[in-house]
Amino acid sequence: MRRYAAVRQAVAWCYRGGSISAEPRINDRIRVPEVRLVGPSGEQVGIVPLAKALELAQEYDLDLVEVAATARPPVCKLMDYGKFKYESAMKAREARKNQAHTVIKEMKLRPKIDPHDYDTKKGHVVRFLKQGDKVKITIMFRGREQSRPELGFRLLQRLASDVEDLGFIESNPKQDGRNMIMVLGPHKKKTEAMAEAREAQAARKAGRQGSSDAASQGETAEAPADAAEAPAETPSEA
Sign of CA dihedral 187, 193, 199, 205: positive
Task: Indicate if the pLDDT at residue 220 is higher than 70.
Answer: no
pLDDT level of residue 99 (50, 70, 90 thresholds) = low
pLDDT level of residue 238 (50, 70, 90 thresholds) = very low
Assign residue 36 a region (left: φ > 0; alpha: ψ between -120 and 50; beta: otherwise).
beta
Number of H helices, E strands in the chain: 6, 8
Distances (CA, A) of 130 to 65, 89, 196: 47, 31, 10
Share of the chain above pLDDT 70, in %: 76
Q: Name the burial class of residue 195, with classes exposed (0-12), middle (13-18) and buried (19+) by CB atoms within 10 angstroms of its CB.
A: middle
Nearest to 163 by CA among 197, 122, 114: 122
Task: Indicate if the pLDDT at residue 7 is higher than 60.
Answer: no
Where would I find the H helices in the chain? Answer: 2-13, 50-60, 81-98, 115-130, 149-162, 190-229
Domains and their CATH numbers in the chain: 27-81 (3.10.20.80), 104-186 (3.30.110.10)
Task: Indicate if the pLDDT at residue 54 is higher than 90.
Answer: yes
Residue 95: the pLDDT is 75
* N- to C-terminal Cα separation, the chain: 123
Q: How much is the mean pLDDT over the chain?
A: 81
Q: Tell me if 112 sits within 8 A of 151, measured CB to CB.
A: yes
Query: How far is it, in rounded angstroms, from Cα 146 to Cα 124?
Result: 26
What are the pLDDT digits (tens) for 144-201?
Answer: 888 899 999 999 999 999 999 999 999 999 998 899 999 999 988 877 777 777 777 7
Omega of the bond leading into 235 within 30 degrees of 0 (cis)? no
DSSP β-bridge partners for residue 186: 167
Task: Indicate if the pLDDT at residue 236 is higher than 50.
Answer: no
Strand 75-79's sheet: what is its strand order?
A: 44-49, 34-38, 75-79, 63-68
pTM for the complete prediction?
A: 0.46
**Lowest-pLDDT range of 85-89, 102-106, 181-185:** 102-106
